[in-house]
Amino acid sequence: MAIKPNIGQPLNRLEGRQKVTGSAKYAADYHVPQLLYGYVVNSTITKGKIVRVDTSAAKALPGVVEVLTHENRPGLAWFDLQYADMDAPPGTVFKPLHDNKIRFNGQPVALVVAEEFEIARYAASLVQLDYEEEPFVTSVEANLSKARPAKKGIATALKPPPPAPTGNFEKAYEAAPFKVDAEYYHGNEHHNPMELFATTTVYEGNGKLTIYDKTQGTINNQLFVANVFGLRYKDVRVLAPYVGGAFGSGLRPQYQLFLSVMAALHLKRNVRVVLDRHQMFTLAHRPQNLQQLQFATDENGKLTAARHAAFVETSSYEDYTEVISSWSHRLYPISNTRFEYKVVPLDLSTPTDMRAPGGVTAMHAIECTMDQLAYKLGIDPLELRLRNYAEVDPSTEKPFTSKALRECYRQAADSFGWSNRNPEPGSMTRGNKLVGYGMATGVWDAYQFPSRIEAILTKEGKLMINNAVTDIGTGTFTVMTQIAADELGLPIEDVIFGYGDSKKPFSMFQGGSSMTSSTGVAIVMAAKALKKKLLEKVKEMSDSPLADADEKDLVFRNGRIALVNEPSVHINFQEIVAANKGQAIKTTKMGKPHLLKLRKYSKMTHSASFVEVEVDKDLKTITVTRAVTAVAAGKIINPRTAHSQISGSMVWGISKALQEESVIDENLGKYVNANLAEYHIPTHADVHQLEVIFAEERDELINELGVKGVGEIGLVAMPAAIANAVFHATGKRINKLPIHFDELLE
Amino acid sequence: MFIASDDIFHKVWILAKTLNPMENEHQFNELQTVRLKVNGEQHELLLLPWVSLLDALREHLDLTGTKKGCDHGQCGACTVLCDGKRILSCLTLAVLKEGAEITTIEGVVRGNQLHPLQQAFIDHDAFQCGYCTPGQICSAIGLFKEGKAKTREDVKELMSGNLCRCGANIGIIDAIMEVKDGGMYE
């Protein structure tokens, strides 16, 4: 009998008290004795080589312990492969302080280690470096001639290259009565989590390290450190119980980890390295890209032809890719398609997945193109989506495990008041403001990765669940506890979830909106195994009242196993532990997706966003006054934390559409707004009414929990919906993000 | 903005002086005694004169609830209360705050009892990663004291020096409004 009192409940975050009292400890918050402070020196040129290093002035400063550069660093692993983390794209991974070559502006070139943070920072300014500069390139638009297909590798398994063309795009496009040909451009964006990238390495002696790191993957970084520095896996422990946001920037080990560990091993001391905000712009970022779209429909608005070509930045040393060009074909049936993806290698650091990578990039272009088509056809933009609604995945002809997108459209449109929209651009006003309504569709993959869970009935009769997964602010800790509590019939307070620690059983890094399905399903599997074990123990117990009971007549509830029909006949967990000579009872189980069964299906989450903007008639300043996003993502375990994931993503949508961009000076090859005053993200004053709707979506196929993940889907539709609303308000199509108000000035 | 401008000028002035080796070759890295009163407790610290209040709290007093998000007064994560006023501890030199009453997030909790605003933050899910939270809470307590914010729009505007990258903005403002409207802040 399934009783799930916790799943579906809007529980407050279990770590809430720690977070509001300041006792939650992040990577740079650990007070360890005899701590040394490392400060990174970054390259001031974009490409070339270091020809002279002079660290004498820095070293002469009292309090400075060491200055490490490529000239004096300790010997390291020889093979590039040993530096490759689980998320490394094809190519040659960047190795800090490896040689004198400079590959991007801000590349780490030295680490100053001192007894005090201020001394380290000051000494870093005394390190003298002479460079020989070489010409460099930092713009996709200006270097389209360098575009080429991306190399393939292990990490591209999740990011397949575009599918082969279908039908005959050229012919169909040529013949179509309605068509749109448009180009879209996105600049670079940086994740900018509030927490600075930081690593505190505790040197334990005997080749052992305890590392507090800002990461989305404790095991990924454990393997990286062990491989690079030639340590035994079991001697490297990476801990990240609290992560101050990451959004993808913590998927790969970042250079402060490498430098902190290198210094700790070299000096046999505890070392902390914290990047400053400017240095945060020298690592992960969302790549700049140019997209060309040509979509066509028949007289009735049915899509007949689609071409989507993406030209996307990568670095000079790794071929980072995203899935961009083929998304339209997973959303709309189109007979004639041509999808292309090319990388443009630039002299910038390798891009890294940033919230809804590829998906939000593509859907901005696709859904703005659809909006243009709706205007050409003279039909409502929502009606155009419904006319092209796919009942099966058009790209594979496979049915969906579930798809409640139609419900998303309906509920969001109703709540928003879409029917009040006058389609004529510039026709709706409010005082001195032009009012625009825009809508767009979102789509994202529903991933599930293998995850291993240790489930323990403790001596005290509580359930302990162990897994290496992190909680980067997503609510993982709370959600996993809810799942575990229901599975074993325990109240929340009797479940202990141990996480954020590489010593715990395997988890992939936290990405792809996959943790609730990956870790959650594994918890269900492990709890089932534990229940089986407990039942075996119960049968073995002398004078057990349940000795003859059939398994299906028993229920786990409130810390006891009882007869369904006669709950007074029961055995407490504590009695089982006592019968087990007071010892805890353990199981370990791997949870994995049902690949064979799921091969026949398409697994996706969907969303629809409806946005209202106000544009000042004179100044053209744009405000997102309200937005409604409806999401279909299977079962929602915790509506409160899931709501925050979606509304937080909607704020990201506002940011991407109207605010954030990393501006590159192409003459200097560097970001000129590498700080939080000039890299704009929404402040409280920029965020107005946001409504989140979860459309009911029962999914019996996808996994044991029926969950799909909510970390990214809330962002995907927003930028296009905002851009379409800006068009509706002003009659102007601005296909470059972020939209600047000055582009709307006559 | 609520940046205490005197702190910035002092910091720049002292840095300029200490970083000029001609004038001050042997003094910039000399430790000096600094007395700080934090959360009601007196501390005597040996600090370099250019240590920010933020680093003094975090690295010398192990009060790591106060966060470093930019070290440039741009994000608000380091907000603490100084004589009841919200200040950015990253733009404040510790030596300048001798004699002041400093309250950090660790001092906001009343014994074992959460401040109403702390409880409201939990109830409104006013955070995700939690990194900006201590600064948001300290800033809002300072805002209450200023008495300038009358409406929700005022609160949004006057809290905009505290960034939240998770996008928990609505929960944060909801939590502050609940406490403000309930008059529960003092």
Mean pLDDT of A514-530: 97
Nearest Cα residue in chain B from A33: B59
Nearest chain A Cα distance for residue B177, angstroms:
13
* pLDDT recorded at residue A548: 85
Helix axes B169-181, B116-123, angle to 10 degrees: 140
Give the pLDDT of residue B2.
Answer: 41
Assess contact for A17 and B114: CB atoms under 8 A.
yes
Confidence bin at A597 (pLDDT 50/70/90): very high
Q: Check CB contact under 8 Å for A684 and B58.
A: no
Which architecture does CATH list for B5-105? Roll (3.10)
- The three state secondary structure string of A62-97 is CCEEEEEECCCCCCCCCCHHHHCCCCCCCECCCCCC
Nearest CA-CA distance, residue A148 and chain B, Å:
35
pLDDT of the residue at B20: 53
Confidence of residue A1 (pLDDT cuts 50, 70, 90): very low
Which residue type occupies B15? L
Q: Is A536 a catalytic residue?
A: no
Residues of B in contact with A641 (CB under 8 A): 125
pLDDT at A501 over 60: yes
pLDDT (mean) for A161-166: 95
Residue type at A676 in one-letter notation: L
Nearest to A473 among B55, B163, B166 (CB): B166
Q: What contacts B86, CB < 8 A, 6 or more positions away?
A: B2, B79, B80, B138, B139, B141, B142, B143
pLDDT band, residue A543 (cuts 50/70/90): confident
Active-site entry in A340, A614, A661, A712:
A712
Tell me which residue in A22, A473, A684 faces B105 most closely, judged by beta carbons: A22
What pLDDT score does A42 carry?
98
- Taking residues A14-40, what's their average pLDDT? 97
pLDDT bracket for residue A447 (50, 70, 90): very high
Residue A538 has pLDDT above 50, yes or no: yes
Would you say the C-alpha torsion B2, B6, B12, B15 has a positive or negative sign?
A: negative
> What pLDDT, on the 0 to 100 scale, is given for residue A158?
83
The domain spans of chain A are 35-135+193-276, 144-189+286-342+358-447+599-744, 451-592
Express as a percent the part of chain A with pLDDT over 90.
94
Percent above pLDDT 70 for chain A:
99
Q: Which two tokens stand for residue A175?
A: 């013949």
Q: What integer pLDDT is reported at residue B7 of this predicted model?
A: 52
Every domain of chain B and the residues it spans: 5-105, 116-181
Q: For residue B76, give the amino acid letter.
A: G
pLDDT score at B183: 83
Q: Which two tokens stand for residue A258?
A: 């490498």
Q: For the structural domain made of A451-592, what CATH number should be given?
A: 3.30.365.10
Does residue B20 or residue A170 have the better pLDDT? A170
CATH architecture of structural domain A144-189+286-342+358-447+599-744: 2-Layer Sandwich (3.30)
Shortest alpha-carbon distance between residue B133 and chain A (Å)? 6
Pick from A23, A276, A677: which is nearest to B65 by CB? A23
Domain A35-135+193-276 top-level CATH class = alpha beta
CATH code given to domain B116-181: 1.10.150.120
Instruction: Collect all residues with Cβ–Cβ distance below 8 Å to A205 and sequence separation of at least 6.
Output: A268
Cite the DSSP H helix spans in A388-498. 405-416, 476-488
Secondary-structure breakdown of chain A: helix, strand, coil percentages, each rounded to the nearest 5: 30, 25, 45
Q: At B98, list the tokens.
A: 């001798």
The pLDDT value recorded for residue B8 is 54
Residue B13 has pLDDT above 80, yes or no: no
Q: Are A94 and A316 in contact (CB under 8 A)?
A: no
Asked whether residue B45 carries a pLDDT value surpassing 70, the answer given is yes
Task: Tell me the average pLDDT of chain A.
Answer: 96
- The confidence score (pLDDT) of residue A691 equals 98
Query: Which of A358-362, A478-482, A566-570 has the lowest average pLDDT?
Result: A566-570
How many whole angstroms separate alpha carbon A237 and alpha carbon A211? Answer: 6
At residue B16 the predicted structure's pLDDT band, cuts being 50, 70 and 90, is low
Q: Which of B50, B74, B119 sits opposite A676 (nearest CB)?
A: B74
| C-beta separation of A84 from A350 below 8 A | no
Q: Do A277 and B74 touch (CB under 8 A)?
A: yes
User: Which H or E run includes A186?
Assistant: strand A178-186
Q: Inform me whether the pLDDT recorded for A255 exceeds 50.
A: yes
pLDDT tens digits, A368-389 = 999 999 999 999 999 999 999 9
| Cβ-defined contact of B169 to A640 (cutoff 8 Å) | no
A35-135+193-276 matches A144-189+286-342+358-447+599-744 in fold: no
Residue B9: burial class (beta carbons within 10 Å; 0-12, 13-18, 19+): exposed
Closest Cα in chain B, distance from residue A162 (Å)? 32
For the cut 70, the answer to whether the pLDDT of residue B12 exceeds it is no
Task: Identify which of A385, A372, A373, A369 has the alpha carbon closest to the alpha carbon of residue A418.
Answer: A385
Residue B1 — very low, low, confident or very high, per pLDDT cuts 50/70/90?
Answer: very low
Q: What is the pLDDT of residue B15?
A: 55
Please check the confidence at residue A603 and state whether its pLDDT lies above 50. Answer: yes
pLDDT at position A722 is: 98
Burial A282-300 (b: 16+ CB within 10 A, else e): bbbbbbbbbbbbbbbbeee
Q: Does B101 touch chain A (CB under 8 A)?
A: no
Are the beta carbons of A393 and A400 closer than 8 angstroms? yes
Q: What is the mean pLDDT of residues A89-103?
A: 95
Residue A54: per-residue pLDDT: 98
